Structure 1
Amino acid sequence: MRFGTDLIALKKESASEELVEILLAVTGEWKGHYAGEFRIDSADIEKMKLNFDARKIDLVIDYEHQTLMGREAPAAGWVKSMSIKEGKLYGMVSWTARAKEYIKNGEYRYLSPVFNFGARDKKSGAWIGCEIESVALTNTPFLDELDEVRANKNLNPKGENMDKSKQLDAEAIEATKTEQEATITALKAELETAKGENAALKEVLATSAVESAIIANKISEPQKQWALSYAKADLNGFNEFLKGTAAITQKPNFTNDMFANKSGAANSGGIDVVKFALEN
């Protein structure tokens, strides 16, 4: 009796083995295969995993499909467990020493799974749907959607050190960060310049509004400094204030009052001009 994928993974994976993740299947439709067109959907992916989980042995990876030819077919590796991520089927693989060298040297780079869409249970004969019967290392795969294989966790498919790749990624990130910081600094400088220009424009507009208000007798000359402060802080508010303010009415300022000598206190040469006018 089986108790789920965690137990299966524990049974199939050994702590001493170095396991590498490989891509085994993707969804899609293909029409150019010599055996006829076929398609893989998400249900097929699920079935492949379920049927693998039901196995009591690991899934073989051979060389050039030699297992199908009924002759000596040494294993290149063994699929120990499967998982589904973002609709794709992945396997954790333990490579043989020979296969690792082939992959590291670039002598083998690709995988070719063998799909059986009408698989039956070997004991009961019951239909079990799609399964992967075996996988082959090859350089001429039919499915070019599968990734290149890698020998171990630290090497990518081309045998280059992954740490170096990570270092290059870190350098690219740092370069991007530096570029972004330079852009931010330039934007801040432009913002400060714009702020200065905006302040100068506000002062010009405020001064113009105050001068116009004085000319229109909306405010008096002694109120100019107060009005400038108000207009600079809130030009719209100042303009609204002016709308509700009536023009200031100024009294006429005569330099000569013709009736200034009526009291007799002010006269010209001691002559009462009013009395002089009446007598004549």
Structure 2
Amino acid sequence: MNKAFITCSILFALNLEANNEFKLAVVGKWQGHINGPFEITLDDLNQMKKNFDDAKVDGVIDLDHATVFNGTGEAYGWIKELEVRENELWASKVEWLDHGKELIKAKKYKYISPVLLPNTINQVDGANIGWTIHSTALTNRPFLEELGEIVVNNNQIQDKGENSMTPEQKEKMEKLEKQVETLTAEKETAEAEKITVQVDAAIAANKVAPEQKDSLITLGKANPEALSDLLAKAKAFVQVPGNDLFQNNNNNQGKKIDVLKLGGIING
């Protein structure tokens, strides 16, 4: 293959809000590139990742391949990590700069295009280290049209977030959602128990009547602070006995003698 580099545009919707990642390359053969036919294997993808990991710089995301044509270019984002997933190479961690995000959100640019070098020369020892990713660009002229999804409406970026996830990512997301549901339920149960304890304690202290329990619990669930404030300000009241607890039945005359009278509290 006689060329300096291959520029490949992966046609898919950039998902800025979910995961900040996108596809960079895939396994396959292409015959119609302007620089001639080329092929990418799984070994090539792994080699790209290794060379990226060994490098001391992040991968630049420029505009319309300015880094290729001008030798350098303003960054619109930075690739922080790569990941090989089956037969695909993904930029799994991306830092988008604000002006890069604005171009994509405004639909001025829709696609990503990696510049792939098949025969990279190590600058230290001059060895051929094989496939590397030279740079990546925002572009509107994709080459590999069969590799991705064309954006056809204004909602595509938002709608594609879940569809672009791998099975492993979906499984992790589902597990996290279940954990959140469990923690939420446990929190609600604990708060309900705390409110019930508060109300029971107030009833035991004769600050509120037992008949008020359900309504007070309802108040506590809706506004815990209001319940706490109400119970804190409530004063204990004297409950009129409805049984014989305050009377003595063990007198020799078989008559009930009020202990309040015996104590001199009530004369009679």
TM-score, with structure 1 as normaliser: 0.47
> Does 1 or 2 have the higher relative contact order (CA < 8 Å, sep 6+)?
2
Give 1 or 2 for the bigger CA radius of gyration.
1
Structure 2-normalised TM-score? 0.49
